[in-house]
Structure 1
Amino acid sequence: MSDDHHDDEHFHTGDSGAAATFPKQCSALRKNEHVMIKGRPCKIVEMSTSKTGKHGHAKVHMVAIDIFTSKKLEDICPSTHNMDVPVVKRREYLLMAIDDGYCSLMDPESCEQKDDLKLPDTELGQQIRDAYEKDEGSVLVQVVSAIGEEAILGWKVSTKE
């Protein structure tokens, strides 16, 4: 008998094993928390709960803003059902350079470089570019990540050296 059958096994490697979302009951969600609506990570801006109807479930109506696109999304969910909540992480990076619309960033703690984030094509992006070109201190950008997406969503100037 041959041991060649092991050559046919394929192992798929995943990420760190941390889930991109976790379930949370609709009635436990609150304004300013994050929730997944139509597959997008959103921040809840309005919530209302209807009374229990003759068919048994109180409904939760949510209005939320996509954290990456700023689009307004709505959802209605029975209060006893679960919804997915995205794991949202925020990190600050030092802006080293802006090259061809992409930011060269450095993690101030680990000194690791990150070159794959685009400067936003919005007023925020222009503010970051202006602050970087003025050279009045180190420009720190806030990078938000959720469900495998990352974007620059804020900035500040640090004058301490």
Structure 2
Amino acid sequence: MSDDESHQHNFEQASAGASLTYPMQCSALRKNGHVVIKGRPCKIVDMSTSKTGKHGHAKVHLVGIDIFTNKKLEDICPSTHNMDVPNVQRNEYQLVNIDDGFLNLMSADGNSKDDVRVPDGDLGKQISDDFDAGKDLLVTIISAMNEEQAISYKEAPKGA
């Protein structure tokens, strides 16, 4: 095989979008940051590092809360290994309507979004009640790893 042939690659798949996660060394993770534990995007609420053992690796014990389900997840990883960190985005949208259990939202640049469910529990009830009372609401949507959820809301300032 000539040098020229070894540089001719055929890529079957390519994506234009950003990756869902990126790698980070376990020892570089920080409390209140994000990490993927058992395939779920989590916020790190506690972490501790053990001393190096006879095999020479310090271990990091991570405790995380799933950002969508609020379930507690734990993982232990050697400090030199990489872990996936989810790309987490927060966006604010104007609430236009509530239709059949879904929020009809509009972004600041006028794009509509109607694929986010009304959140379960008190938050969903508060959003519905305030919207029914005629208030202009801004809803904060968190998105990571192809999942989205409303996490908070506030009343839009007058004249916005």
CA–CA distance in structure 2, aligned partners of residues 83 and 154 of structure 1: 28
Runs of 4+ in 1 over 3 A off after TM superposition: 11-15
How many correspondences in the alignment?
Answer: 149
Q: Supply the AA of the counterpart residue of 2:155.
A: V
Look up the SS of the partner of 2:80 in the other structure: coil
User: Measured at CA, do residues 129 and 45 of structure 1 come closer, stay the same or move farther in structure 2, by a change above 3 Å?
Assistant: same
Residue 16 (structure 1) shift: 2.8
Residue of structure 1 in register with 2:126 after alignment = 127
Q: What corresponds to 1:77 in structure 2? A: 77
Cα offsets for 1:53-86 (capped at 9, x unmatched): 1111000001000001111000000000000000
**What residue is the counterpart of 1:24 in the other structure?**
24
Determine which of 148, 151, 154 is the counterpart of 1:150: 148
CA distance in 1, matches of 2:46, 2:28: 14
2:35 & 2:14 partners in 1: Cα distance?
24
Instruction: List runs of 5+ in structure 1 lacking aligned partners.
Output: 1-10
Displacement after TM superposition at 1:12 (Å):
7.6
Q: Partner of 2:88 in structure 1?
A: 88
Give the Å deviation of 1:159: 2.8
Give the distance between the partners of 2:48 and 2:68, measured in 1 at CA. Answer: 24
TM-score (structure 1 length as normaliser): 0.88
Distance in 2 (alpha carbons) for counterparts of 1:64 and 1:159? 34
Equivalent residues in 2 for 1:43-82, closer than 5 Å: 43-82=43-82
Residues 28-43 of structure 1 correspond to what in structure 2 (within 5 A)? Answer: 28-43=28-43
Amino acid at match of 1:65: I
Q: Distance in 2 between matches of 1:28 and 1:74?
A: 17
Shift of 1:17: 3.0
Compared CA separation, residues 98 and 17, structure 1 to 2 (3 A): closer
Greater CA deviation, 21-30 or 124-133? 124-133
Whole-Å separation in 2 of the counterparts to 1:21 and 1:64 = 16
Mind listing any 5+ residue stretches in structure 2 that lack a counterpart? Answer: 1-10
In structure 2, the partner of 1:102 is 102
Alignment TM-score, normalising by the size of structure 2: 0.88
Deviation of 1:121 after TM superposition, in Å, equals: 1.5
Aligned-pair distance for 1:100? 1.1
Identity %: 60
**How much has 1:18 moved relative to structure 2?**
1.1
